[in-house]
Homo-oligomer: A and B are copies of this chain.
Amino acid sequence: MGKSENIPLPAVRRLSLYLRQLEAYADENHRTISSRQLGEVLGLSDAQVRKDLAYFGQFGHPGIGYRVPELIQRVRRILGTDKLSRVLLVGAGNLGRALIAFRGFQKRGFELAAVFDKDPDKVGQMTDGPNRLKIWDLSEMPAIVRKHSIRVGILAVPASAAQQVAEEMVAAGIRGILNFAPVPLQVGPDVSVASVDLAIHLEQLSFELNSVAP
């Protein structure tokens, strides 16, 4: 049992958003930020921001607000992204290759350490781009997971293969799956799954457009 038990999930989600806002402030060389400023862009009240950060034992300094570099470090420590952690990717198709090229992961504390596919034409090849990685066969996953102490995997395979591959990932020792396949995954209670639903954002845009214009 861990520290997240009594913290509402939405507060955890907002931590990532606070971190984005803090990093934007740091990029502009601001040294402090008020709870109002931290909440403004996110549409949250200053009271909500203070309450969220208090869950994690973070309190602003009266008359100063939060010290930006300090709070960035603390939020990263809470999220577990203060140290670079290695993740693997299964699926070297178009989406997989886009994810390999995506620079945002490294910036956020994640290093893509290994790529897997089951297509014999792809296995053994190197990926393109600046972050060149060898593509391994799925059967190599358990050994590589152990060797690099990898706990998180990104699943970017077709929907029809997703459940089977997820089970292989879990068997190999993966404990967190970022799922891009548009199907729900059945995994044990000791495995966390975050699903990226690309269509959900389009629905939200659709709602907004239908609301403001007849």
Does A201 make an interface contact (CB < 8 A)?
yes
Shortest distance in angstroms between A40's beta carbon and chain B's nearest beta carbon? 14
CA distance A101 to B19 in the complex (A): 33
A209 and B105 in contact, given A93-B98, A99-B198, A110-B202 (Cβ under 8 angstroms) = no
Determine how many copies of this chain the complex contains: 2
Asked whether A192 and B178 contact (CB < 8 A) given A16-B200, A199-B104, A199-B107, the answer is: no
Q: Kindly report which residue of chain B lies nearest to residue A105, judged by CB atoms.
A: B199
- Cα(A198)–Cα(B212), bound, Å: 28
Q: How far is the CB of A94 from chain B (nearest CB, A)?
A: 4
- CB pair A207–B98 under 8 Å, yes or no, is no
Interface residues of A in 15-29 (CB under 8 A from B): 15-17, 19-20, 24
- The contact of A207 among B79, B184, B197, by CB within 8 Å, is B79
Instruction: Tell whether, in the assembled complex, residue A178 and residue B194 are in contact, meaning their CB atoms are under 8 Å apart.
Output: no
Residue A70 interfacial (CB < 8 Å): no
Cβ–Cβ < 8 Å partners of A107 in chain B: 182, 199
Closest Cβ of chain B: how far from A92's Cβ, in Å?
Answer: 11
Q: Does A141 contact B (CB under 8 A)?
A: no
For A110, the closest partner residue in chain B by CB is B202
Q: CB within 8 Å of B: which residues of A?
A: 1-5, 9-10, 12-13, 15-17, 19-20, 24, 43, 78-81, 85, 87, 93-95, 97-99, 101-105, 107-110, 151-152, 154, 159, 175-178, 182, 184, 190, 192, 194, 196-213
